[in-house]
Amino acid sequence: MSWQTILAIGSGGFIGAVLRVYINGLISHRVSHILPFGTLGVNLIGSFIMGTLIAYFMHTTIFSVYMKSFLTTGLLGALTTYSTFAIESFLLLHGGSIFLALANISLNAFGSIFMAGSGYYLLNTFIKH
């Protein structure tokens, strides 16, 4: 891996991590804490953006491999929070909240796949028209 790729991923990761904390905080302060909705929010938003980017990358060559790495592995890799999701789900299970844990797991897993597909198909629809 080249130093340019490492720099691109690291720079994107810095921005993504800061955005994750900011967006997570915004959602957590505005929505009930029955589930970790801040984590769910960044996972769904990041998945949607990933879907749109991948679709866009398939239709254009204007982005360099460094910019693609910056946006996907760096920014979105740090924005989405599956390690946080994993520990939050474990803690819900460990605390005896089996229903909430399963709801959190289902919403994150299926919601993220749905949002990634939605972003992908949305951008493909716009590009085809």
Q: Which of 63, 62, 40 is nearest to 112 (CA)?
A: 40
Portion of the chain with pLDDT greater than 70, in percent: 100
The sign of the dihedral angle between the CA atoms of 120, 122, 125, 126 is negative
Among 31-40, 62-71, 113-122, the range scoring the smallest mean pLDDT is 31-40
Residue 82: pLDDT above 90?
no
State if pTM tops 0.75.
yes
pLDDT one-digit tens code per residue, 38-66? 999 999 999 999 999 999 999 999 999 99
Q: CB-side exposure of 9: number of CA atoms within 13 Å?
A: 10
Tokens representing 27?
């959602």
Residue 67 sits at the vertex; the CA angle it makes with 65 and 70, to the nearest 5 degrees, is 110
